[in-house]
Amino acid sequence: ALFELPDPGPEPARQTVRAVPVLVPMPAPGPYSYTVPENVHVVPGSIVVVPLGPRKVIGVVWDERGEGGSVDPKKLRPIEHVFDCPPLADDMRVFLDWVAAYTLTPPGYVARMALRAPTAFDPEPMVEGLRLVKSELERMTPARARVIELASDGFAWTRLGLVHAAGVSASVVDGMIAQGAFETVFLPPPPVVAPPDPDYVADRLEGVQKDAARVLIKTVDKGKFSVSLIDGVTGSGKTEVYFEAVAEALKRGKQVLILLPEIALTASFLERFQDRFGSKPAEWHSDLAPRTREKVWRQVVTGEVRVVAGARSALFLPFAELGLIVVDEEHDPAYKQEDRVFYNARDMAVVRARIGDFPTVLVSATPSVESQVNAMQGRYQAIHLPTRFGDAAMPDLRLVDMRRHAPARGGFLSPLMLRGVDATLKKGEQSLLFLNRRGYAPLTLCRVCGHRFQCPQCSSWLVEHRFRGVIQCHQCGYQEKTPEACPECGTLDHLVACGPGVERIAEEVVSHFPDARTIVLSSDMAGGVKRLRLELEAIAKGEADIVIGTQLVAKGHNFPLMTLVGIVDADLGLANGDPRAAERTFQLLHQVTGRAGRTGLKSHGLIQTYQPGHPVMQAIVSGDAEAFYDREISEREKANLPPFGRLASIIISADDRHSAEVHARALRNAAPQAAGITVLGPAEAPLALVRGRYRFRLLVHGQRTSDMQGFLKAMLAAGPKERGSLHVQVDIDPQSF
């Protein structure tokens, strides 16, 4: 009733114009006012088209915030179109506002994430169908008889459906139509996925799994906000367990969202879901075809789609009856979006559940320090699954001290590693060699003058991709043909590759095992996601002997024959001095080694490191995650780092270094006095130059209870305005600090 038309009153001369706030996908601080033409009905949440300057844009009717009144209605422009689709629910609008306020992002940008399927708002055209009403035709032919046999199932068929299914020519069906054999009916557009059946198979859980599921089912039954953290080793049955929570939510008539970090690559997940629920969930990620995307969006809004398995952006889908969110691999850095709206989907999933008052389940073999602390302090309900399911044992892990087991000259694999691969080959099983570095070599230099190939637009080295014959920047994508001569001194053929990437490891592997079937998997692979999916399937079927891959292969895949995992450079992630580096490395190594031995075959992990004494390496081989986390947590607590204190990073960038630095200093000087909050910097950002933009960083450190957003807003308001190429980007809870 917020926007009821006012009574026009007795005097028709004085026209009243109704105006409503509409949030448009612009970096404005709030909604703009538009008039509502007569006979147009809108409510808060209605999705509309409005003029904006010379363009027409999609917007959402927002809540009135009492700012109206003062605008001259004659200056306002009217809403042009209201889409025939359910309005965004109140919860959803509260959520979008919350995310905007928390991340200090214009609300229009956040709302745009909920409107990611722009043409999906008007209903899909109905499909015309034929229903058999007369089966006694004057002239009966075998072809006609076949059509009648099919169509007498009582359902409506499309014309083409009948033609194809009966194997007749279109003229046969047309002739029958002409003789009045059919009545025309309208069919609703087909659902993108069949509804899942929570009772499709009986729960087959065992022992601790059963207990875990019982606890989860109880929280789903309560239907109130809660956060559960399932913490269980790889292969313990976490997925099986949370499927029971999903089943329970479905039985209660709720929609379910399952977030996965690499959904586009986890086709096997969809199949597992189908095995349990009889149909696949709807997928949501950036590789969907536009038509599919629109259909899914619409059917999520109308409630036809009951379960979505999606990447982080699925969190902004406007579900009609969302009642459970599962965040699988909750520690995964892929949940952080660092573009336009900087948010962590794991954290925002919890917020969405709190606003909607329903349960969430976070799942990981290596939970984030944040979630561990929340569980320790009792804010999250902790559920442990300590052992692998069935007769699958954890792989037997061993550190390879590279100072003592040096590889042959020019190689990167120690003799121990090569022997391991050889033994695995002889058993007819698979090896995975993991190196989180794409390309052939991370650095190329000239042997004569020492020239290093650097990106012209970024402060990063160009990475050689030998398969493609290019050197490429992994920041901005800049690439050039691998030169034959040094651009500095002109010497021919004296360029040297420094350090390994996956392509170089593949070369080494092939030289040792020329007859083995070797696959290199990285995001560089030609053919994109489709091809990657096929390769992953092929590996699962045993069609490769040695897989060399980046973190793409680490996430969630089930390779039944994989019994050796070799980490080529375990120290790689530890070098950058980021306080989160140890946690990240531990998570990654655990996840990668967890690919081995998931089906009961005896399995091994070999971890090449120059720092065998490092706490991360010790934690990985001892399997004592708890001791590692205790240490990490107490160090964070001592330094008052998240989740004990709060952090925000502010990146100030510009086309020239000087203006960026000057602006950063001025912003720093504009910081208000606030107890418990300090501003560090400016310093050059960890990536000091990206795409030709110079970057400086301020780090804001506060207490757990500090009003960071209030502080930052005051600082930005008091600081200099962004002018020219200058841009200020705030990142609340940054990934690296």
Annotated binding site: 446, 449, 455, 458, 473, 476, 486, 489
Contact window for ligand ADP (CB under 6 A) among 237-245, 352-360, 542-550, 610-618: 237-245
235 binds ligand ADP (CB under 6 A): yes
Neighbours of 311 (CB within 10 A): 22
Report how far Cα 47 is from the mean position of its chain's Cα atoms: 25
**Interface contacts to Zn ion, rule CB under 5 A:** 455, 457-458, 473, 475-476, 478
222 binds, among Zn ion, ligand ADP, none (CB under 5 to 8 A by kind): none
Neighbours of 416 (CB within 10 A): 18
Contact window for ligand ADP (CB under 6 A) among 231-239, 310-318, 629-637, 688-696: 231-239
Residue with Cβ nearer ligand ADP (414 or 563): 563
204 binds ligand ADP (CB under 6 A): yes
- Rounded Cα distance between 304 and 188, Å, is 12
616-652 in b/e form (b: 16+ CB < 10 A) is bbebbbeeebeebbeebbeebeeeebbbbbbbbbbbb
- Rounded Cα distance between 600 and 386, Å, is 16
Instruction: Find the binding residues for ligand ADP in span 533-592 (CB under 6 A).
Output: 558
476 binds, among ligand ADP, Zn ion, none (CB under 5 to 8 A by kind): Zn ion
- Rounded Cα distance between 308 and 285, Å, is 10
- According to the 3-state scheme, what is the secondary structure of 69-121? CCCCHHHCCECCEECCCCCCCHHHHHHHHHHHHHHCCCHHHHHHHHCCCHHHH
Which residues fall in the annotated binding site for Zn(2+)? 446, 449, 455, 458, 473, 476, 486, 489
CB of 736 to Zn ion, least distance (A): 19
CB of 560 to ligand ADP, least distance (A): 8
CB of 206 to ligand ADP, least distance (A): 5
Q: CB burial class (10 A; 0-12, 13-18, 19+) of residue 466?
A: middle
Residue with Cβ nearer Zn ion (481 or 723): 481
Strand partners, 434: 549, 567
209 binds ligand ADP (CB under 6 A): yes
473 binds, among Zn ion, ligand ADP, none (CB under 5 to 8 A by kind): Zn ion
Nearest to 400 by CA among 382, 420, 377: 420
563 binds, among ligand ADP, Zn ion, none (CB under 5 to 8 A by kind): none
Contact window for ligand ADP (CB under 6 A) among 119-127, 238-246, 433-441, 653-661: 238-246
Nearest to 541 by CA among 557, 520, 523, 564: 557
Among 144, 238, 437, 693, binds ligand ADP (CB under 6 A): 238
226 binds ligand ADP (CB under 6 A): no
Residue with Cβ nearer ligand ADP (238 or 697): 238
Nearest to 329 by CA among 245, 246, 248, 230: 230
What stretches of 235-393 adopt beta strand conformation (E)? 255-259, 282-284, 307-310, 322-328, 336-339, 341-344, 359-364, 381-385
DSSP class of residue 203 equals -
CB of 395 to Zn ion, least distance (A): 38
Residue with Cβ nearer Zn ion (243 or 478): 478
237 binds, among Zn ion, ligand ADP, none (CB under 5 to 8 A by kind): ligand ADP
Contact window for ligand ADP (CB under 6 A) among 230-238, 395-403, 486-494, 675-683: 230-238
Residue positions counted in the chain: 737
234 binds, among Zn ion, ligand ADP, none (CB under 5 to 8 A by kind): ligand ADP
SS3 (DSSP) at 543:
coil
372 binds ligand ADP (CB under 6 A): no
What are the residues binding ligand ADP (CB under 6 A)?
Answer: 204-206, 209, 232, 234-240, 389, 558
